[in-house]
Chains A and B, each alone.
Chain A
Amino acid sequence: MQNIKISFPKAGVALIELNRPEKRNALNNATLQEIVNCLQSLDADAAVKAVIVTGNPTCFAAGADLNELAQLDVVSIQQDRRPQLWKCIDEFSKPLIMAVNGYALGAGFELALHGDMVLTGDNAQFALPEIGLGMLPGAGGTQRLARLVGQQLTMRWAMTGEMIPAQTAVQHGISSQICPAQLTVQYGLELAEKIARQAPLAIRVIKQSLKSIHEVTLSQGLKLERQHFVWLAATQDRQEGISAFLEKRKPEFRGV
Chain B
Amino acid sequence: MDYQTIIVEEKNAVGYLTFNRPKQLNSFNETMHQEVSSVMKAWAKDSAVRTVVISAEGRGFCAGQDLNDRVVDPNADAPDLGLSIEKYYNPLIKLITEMPKPVICAVNGVAAGAGANIALACDIVIAARSASFIQAFCRLGLVPDSGGTWFLPRLVGRAQAMGLAMLGDKIPAERAVQLGMIWQAVEDDALKSEAEKMAEHLAKQPTYGLSLIKKAINAAAHNNLDDQLILERDLQRLAGRSSDYKEGVQAFMQKRTPEYKGC
B234 near A: Cβ within 8 Å? yes
Could you say which residues of chain B place their CB within 8 Å of the CB of A183? Answer: 234, 237-238
A84 near B: Cβ within 8 Å? no
Q: When A and B form their complex, what is the total count of cross-chain residue pairs whose Cβ atoms lie within 8 Å?
A: 11
Q: Which residue of B lies closest to A177 (CB)?
A: B230
Could you say which residues of chain A place their CB within 8 Å of the CB of B143? Answer: none
Q: By DSSP majority rule, is chain A's interface helix, strand, loop, or mixed?
A: helix
User: For window 32-51 of chain A, which residues contact chain B by CB distance below 8 Å?
Assistant: none
A184: shortest Cβ distance to chain B, in Å? 11
Q: Which residue of B lies closest to A182 (CB)?
A: B238
Could you say which residues of chain A place their CB within 8 Å of the CB of B238? Answer: 180, 182-183
Would you give the 0/1 interface string for B93-109, flagging 1 where the beta carbon is closer than 8 Å to chain A? 00000000000000000
A59 near B: Cβ within 8 Å? no
B235 near A: Cβ within 8 Å? yes
Would you give the 0/1 interface string for B231-263, flagging 1 where the beta carbon is closer than 8 Å to chain A? 000110110010000000000000000000000
Could you say which residues of chain B place their CB within 8 Å of the CB of A180? Answer: 234-235, 237-238
Would you give the 0/1 interface string for B156-188, flagging 1 where the beta carbon is closer than 8 Å to chain A? 000000000000000000000000000000000
Could you say which residues of chain B place their CB within 8 Å of the CB of A179? Answer: 234
Q: Which residue of A lies closest to B235 (CB)?
A: A180
Could you say which residues of chain A place their CB within 8 Å of the CB of B235? Answer: 180
Q: Which residue of A lies closest to B241 (CB)?
A: A182
A60: shortest Cβ distance to chain B, in Å? 20
A182 to B241, CA, bound (A): 10
A93 to B238, CA, bound (A): 34
Q: Which residue of A lies closest to B212 (CB)?
A: A180
A57: shortest Cβ distance to chain B, in Å? 13
A179 to B234, CA, bound (A): 8
For this complex, 11 residue pairs linking A to B, each with C-beta atoms less than 8 Å apart, are A179-B234, A180-B234, A180-B235, A180-B237, A180-B238, A182-B238, A182-B241, A183-B234, A183-B237, A183-B238, A186-B237
Pick the 3 closest A-B CB pairs, nearest first.
A180-B234, A180-B238, A182-B238
